[in-house]
Amino acid sequence: MTHLTQLTITQALEKLKNSEITSVELTQAHLNLIEKLDETLKVYITVSAETALEQAAAADKARANGDDRPLLGIPLAMKDILSTKGIQTTAGSKILKGYHPIFDATCIQRLYDAGMVLLGKVNLDEFAMGSSTENSGYFQSRNPWDVERVPGGSSGGSGAVVAAQMAMGALGTDTGGSVRQPGSFCNVVALKPSYGRVSRYGLIAFGSSLDQPGPMTRTVEDAARMLGVIAGHDPLDSTSMKTEVPDYLAELTGDISGMKIGVPTEYFGDGLDAEVEKAVRDAIAELEKMGAEVTEVHLPHTKYGLPTYYLIATSEASSNLARFDGIRYGPRIDKGEMWDTYRATRGEGFGTEVKRRIMLGTYALSAGYYDAWYGKAQAVRTLIKQDYEQAFEQVDVIAAPVAPTTAFKFGENTADPLQMYLADILTINANLAGITGISVPCGFDSKHLPIGLQLLGPAFGEEKILRVAHAYEQAHDWWQRTPTLVTQALG
């Protein structure tokens, strides 16, 4: 018998429509599993149980009256960097502890409008700065596949909550791979939309030219369903594009014959784990058997992505986080004098990684260094973007690994920040170029840890990567596998 938490969003909607289950039952099942597992996995910063059950009851009543909204009665979780009206939003930082926004982020509001039930807010690296969720100001979230290992980051909480069936789906944010990498580590589907496809209004900014909210789900169809709800122009966000939103579900035909898939040689170099490479190449071979045409492509400026990203991202972080000083935003530690108050407030409110990135960004933007570092990084960013544009003139989709390794152990990379930054080396260039990408489960290594296949598409080409990802997913059962921890909790 299938437990309610094992249903996909699509399956649950069908049962809700047929009156086989109620939203209250579905929501309560997830709350029960949260109660059993969250002490071990440390995923939720805030559980809004009472509100969720009220929303579920309202959804059941609305459905009884003929309402059939796209996500009516579906219990979801949100990364705690997206503003939720009346519900604590911390960005994983002590400096925002107790902050209750007076408005909802646009993507949250659109999910509410579609009928979402909000289970709560999940953990992340502080201000989305990290690749392991070890930088949270509250606690370290754990990977459901191996609790001694990280779930990835910065949307590690969002990846873990879906993998552990403690929510039917979640929103994360992707600044340099922050939904795709935890998607790979946790064996869930994770979609980074094109920059400008989903409104950033209400997203507490890390890197304003890089951040993009995206869905994390158990299946590609569920991701397409969520994207269809949150995508589209928002007049409250000046970076939101007035571009038509396709019917993503209609694109999931299962047929990829004739599609051209590029394999970039630069993504298969030194440092790539042998088991990861084999799983990804096997997945690409499967796509070829399905009728896709596979060809080699070149992205010559790939190797410059890491330094380019960490100059631009830290510079933007330095500017965005200047407001959290205990005077304009955040709790104040009053030391009498202004500068002493600033130092105390920011010194205790920010964690080590956030301070490191603020310092790096401030240096890059300082007089005498702006042109040499930040200006040069923006010029290289243009070259990286042009590499992708030229590649997409030849192919529909690019296929590659998501991360060089599977999930690593806690503390393995924390002593060396550069080693941690390298965890993003295969994902950051997509953010620099503003294109779309998805991670879809494609296997496990010898330690039984998940591996993800990364599919990249041109800007506003989400339907292409969803089509390929869905076709691959249908040929395998990787997504159906459940962590032992969860199976035991379900009895």
Q: What is the pLDDT of residues 278-314, one digit of tens each?
A: 999 999 999 999 999 999 999 999 999 999 999 999 9
Cis peptide before 366 (omega within 30 of 0): no
Question: What crossing angle do the helices spanning 23-41 and 49-64 adopt, rounded to 10°?
Answer: 160
What's the confidence (pLDDT) of residue 270? 87
Q: Which residue has the tokens 């152990």?
A: 409
What is the C-alpha separation between 75 and 460, in angstroms, rounded?
A: 28
Query: Residues 275, 281, 282, CA angle at the centre, nearest 5°?
Result: 90
**How many CB atoms lie under 10 A from the CB of residue 58?**
17
Query: DSSP 3-state assignment of 277?
Result: helix
Helices (DSSP H) in 114-205: which residue ranges? Answer: 156-163, 180-186
What's the confidence (pLDDT) of residue 190? 98
Q: Which of 48, 141, 154, 315 is catalytic?
A: 154
What's the confidence (pLDDT) of residue 422? 77
Q: Is the pLDDT of residue 1 over 70?
A: no
Check if 355 is active-site: no
Among the ranges given (338-347, 409-418, 427-436), the one the predictor scored with the smallest mean pLDDT: 409-418
- Top-confidence residue, 419 or 115: 115
Q: Is the pLDDT of residue 215 over 80?
A: yes
Q: Which of 178, 199, 240, 315 is catalytic?
A: 178
Q: Is the pLDDT of residue 414 over 90?
A: no
Q: Is the pLDDT of residue 94 over 90?
A: yes
Q: Is the pLDDT of residue 59 over 70?
A: yes
What is the C-alpha separation between 98 and 104, in angstroms, rounded?
A: 16
Q: Which residue has the tokens 């509100």?
A: 51
- Domains of the chain plus CATH, in order, are 4-299+385-490 (3.90.1300.10)
What's the confidence (pLDDT) of residue 421? 78
What's the confidence (pLDDT) of residue 328? 83
Query: DSSP 3-state assignment of 192?
Result: strand
Check if 158 is active-site: no
Q: What is the pLDDT of residues 192-211, one digit of tens each?
A: 999 999 999 999 999 999 99
Give the percent of the chain with pLDDT over 90: 91
What's the confidence (pLDDT) of residue 326? 84
The tokens describing 225, both together, are: 């369903």
What's the confidence (pLDDT) of residue 329? 79
Please compute the mean of the pLDDT values over residues 318-333 and round it to a whole number: 88
Please compute the mean of the pLDDT values over residues 258-277 and round it to a whole number: 96
- Top-confidence residue, 9 or 423: 9
Q: What is the pLDDT of residues 25-54, one digit of tens each?
A: 999 999 999 999 999 999 999 999 999 999
pLDDT band at 342 (very low <50, low <70, confident <90, very high): confident
Q: Is the pLDDT of residue 186 over 80?
A: yes
State the DSSP code for 117: E
Strand partners, 149: 409
Give the percent of the chain with pLDDT over 70: 100
What's the confidence (pLDDT) of residue 81? 98
Q: Which of 79, 121, 192, 464 is catalytic?
A: 79
Strand partners, 169: 217
Please compute the mean of the pLDDT values over residues 328-337 and round it to a whole number: 86
pLDDT band at 417 (very low <50, low <70, confident <90, very high): confident
The CA distances from residue 412 to 22, 138, 355, 476, in Å, are 44, 20, 21, 32
Q: Is the pLDDT of residue 419 over 80?
A: no
Mean pLDDT of the chain, nearest integer = 96
Check if 194 is active-site: no
Q: Is the pLDDT of residue 268 over 70?
A: yes
DSSP state letters, 304-322: GHHHHHHHHHHHHHHHHGG
